[in-house]
Structure 1
Amino acid sequence: MDIGIHYANFTHPEWPDRLTERLVDTARAAEAGGAELFTVMDHWFQMEQLGGPDEPMLEAYTTLGHLAAVTERIRLSALVTGATYRHPGLLAKTVTTLDRLSGGRALLGIGAAWYEREHDGLGVPFPPLAERFERLEETLQICRQLWSDDDGAHRGRHFHLTETAGVPAPLARPHPPILIGGSGERKTLRLVAEYAQWCNIFGEEPDAVAHKLEVLRGHCDRAGTDYDAITKTAIRMDDPVADPDGFLRLMEEYAALGIELVTLMPPTPDPVGWTEQVCRDVLPRLQQLGPA
């Protein structure tokens, strides 16, 4: 099992002067320590659980572009882009640019979006939930078309594109992997089965994760896609530094279910030191875990 570091909180000591330094140092520590993935949130306002709009939040793809220039190996992604945040054609171009500038390390992490306050605050339309899922699916279709040899028109319910030219093409083949975040059984996991190469399930107990994966397997069977080819990941709020043995016991159960990567968020004022410790003391043991 691999590890991802999710950098969600910029409010660390002396952040007005050290925000960029600490972000870069954490990404470099993750890469040097052997982490597979480094992610940031795609929000305009900080989530209310972490202090809301009064706390710092950087735009995701500008941030990832900067990190592409100061790292060499680690995969980079938003966890996750909301389908309401950018026009699909622009999103495909943005992720292609990240993929090119990073040497083929971009993922397209995407979901339906949920944070209404930031939309209202900055004047961005926030459709009802059903429409957001329609827009998510159409966005996935458009991205795949821009990453294909088909540069023709797209005429959908919500988006009309007259030509889907995408030059240069991404370095990743056949395109940057698509990660869909969330574990909704009727819509989200169906979209994973039909469009994604990665999934990200919210950290639940092993029985709940097992159920979600069985639902995903059923969607794959109906869609005629390969369940085993999907990289299964989960995000957890645990602190493995505080209880490494307990964390690894839980991850052993996750690995037996087929979870291949767990994403963790530094919970301390020192994300660099925490990341170094996780990679040094926990990751080697985590990498020994695998499916039953």
Structure 2
Amino acid sequence: MAAVTEISGGPYKRPFRFNIQCSSPEQVDARSWANLARQVEDLGYTTLTVSDHLDEQVAPIAALMAAADATTTLRIGAMVFSNDYRHPVVLAKEAATLDALSGGRFELGLGAGWMTSDYERAGLPLDPPGVRISRLAESLAVIKGMFADGPLTFHGAHYQVAGLSGTPKPVQRPHPPIVIGGGGRRLLSLAAREADIIGLNMNMAGGVIDASLGPNATTAATEEKIGWIREAAGARWDELTLQVRIHLAIVTDNRGEIVDQLAAGFGLTTEQAYATPHALCGSVDQIVDDLVERRERFGISTIGVALDSLTALAPVVARLAGT
């Protein structure tokens, strides 16, 4: 573990890591995907991630293995696998295989499922959030049991496993880093108890991303979420890594005008728009300063951005990654 320094807002300070969500590349063919993965690696991003939705995105498992095969140090992960789309026994086998074949570069992102359109278009039943989160909690127990030595027997309300040994075993022991993100207290509390990396996001209980999420993206909302995590984590608090999903990243010398537009679009004051941890806007120097300040305040050290920010944020990544 890297040297750490205690800070007030979040857990101990970690070096900066940058993840890039590459779910919807312009081209889907072997050469362009391999070139993209190598570009991500060469620019200093830590992890290439793929989302798990049923519309225009590439399928995560095949895409992640291809990205790992094209690179040498780049980590791979789903941001995040939807628990309702796969039985946890099946996902555990896929995850362990990805970890083994990538040489221990896999991170297991897992969520309860939230995008209404996925469920509606695929004809999947969308249970209430509490049911989905309870199912996710059981799934985590099953997956960790499949990663462990010996056969697993599990009897829950949603899953039953009878003496099944998980094979292969992951390279990273006891398991690959588990990533769980969310914006509500129940899901973040589960993440605090079970995950290694916790993603701070806006509350997606409504099943869509729109302007109604603005008030849940403020610094006050972020501080409240971190409080929930800290309370639920207990003695695990100092072991956790906090990450945040950036929904808007713009490198510009005209920061004020862009922030005003962001504030108007998301129902925030200008001050709230400047401070939200879910957006980056300004010159490279300003963005670097913002990220350092947010790490000091909140403990956020892992930054997740979208593919369209790959090259624009590369100077920021070059300045901060690993520091």
In the superposition, the TM-score normalised over structure 2's length comes to 0.76
Q: CA deviation at 1:210?
A: 2.8
Counterpart Cα distance in 1 of 2:125 and 2:98? 26
1:258 aligns with 2:293: no
1:278 aligns with 2:313: yes
2:20 counterpart letter in structure 1: I
**Aligned ranges 1:81-230 → 2 under 5 Å:** 81-185=81-185, 187-202=186-201, 204-221=217-234, 225-230=235-240
Retained in 2: the 8 A contact 1:29–1:276?
no
1:104 counterpart letter in structure 2: G
Counterpart Cα distance in 2 of 1:38 and 1:22? 15
**Aligned ranges 1:35-114 → 2 under 5 Å:** 35-45=45-55, 56-114=56-114
Cα RMSD of the aligned pairs, angstroms, is 2.0
Counterpart Cα distance in 1 of 2:60 and 2:81? 8
Deviates more, 1:197-206 or 1:84-93: 197-206
Retained in 2: the 8 A contact 1:154–1:164?
no
Counterpart Cα distance in 1 of 2:37 and 2:219? 29
1:65 counterpart letter in structure 2: M
Q: CA deviation at 1:241?
A: 3.3
Q: Equivalent residue for 1:2?
A: 17
Change beyond 3 A, Cα 1:129–1:211? closer
Counterpart Cα distance in 1 of 2:286 and 2:247? 13
Q: String of CA shifts for 1:187-237, please: whole Å, max 9, x gaps.
A: 11111121111111127344432332122111112xxx4111111111112
Note the residue ranges of structure 2 that are not aligned, 5 or more in a row.
1-15, 203-216, 253-281
Q: CA deviation at 1:176?
A: 0.8
Change beyond 3 A, Cα 1:40–1:288? closer
Q: CA deviation at 1:277?
A: 4.7
Q: CA deviation at 1:105?
A: 0.8
Aligned residues: 263
Note the residue ranges of structure 1 that are not aligned, 5 or more in a row.
46-55, 268-273
2:187 counterpart letter in structure 1: T
Q: Equivalent residue for 2:6?
A: none
Retained in 2: the 8 A contact 1:177–1:197?
yes
Counterpart Cα distance in 1 of 2:290 and 2:23? 23
In the superposition, the TM-score normalised over structure 1's length comes to 0.83
Change beyond 3 A, Cα 1:240–1:73? farther
Retained in 2: the 8 A contact 1:206–1:253?
no
Q: String of CA shifts for 1:78-107, please: whole Å, max 9, x gaps.
A: 101111010010011111111011101111
SS of 1:200 mapped into structure 2: strand
Q: CA deviation at 1:284?
A: 2.8
Counterpart Cα distance in 2 of 1:8 and 1:58? 6
1:28 aligns with 2:38: yes
Counterpart Cα distance in 1 of 2:175 and 2:83? 18
Q: Equivalent residue for 1:238?
A: 248
Change beyond 3 A, Cα 1:179–1:118? same
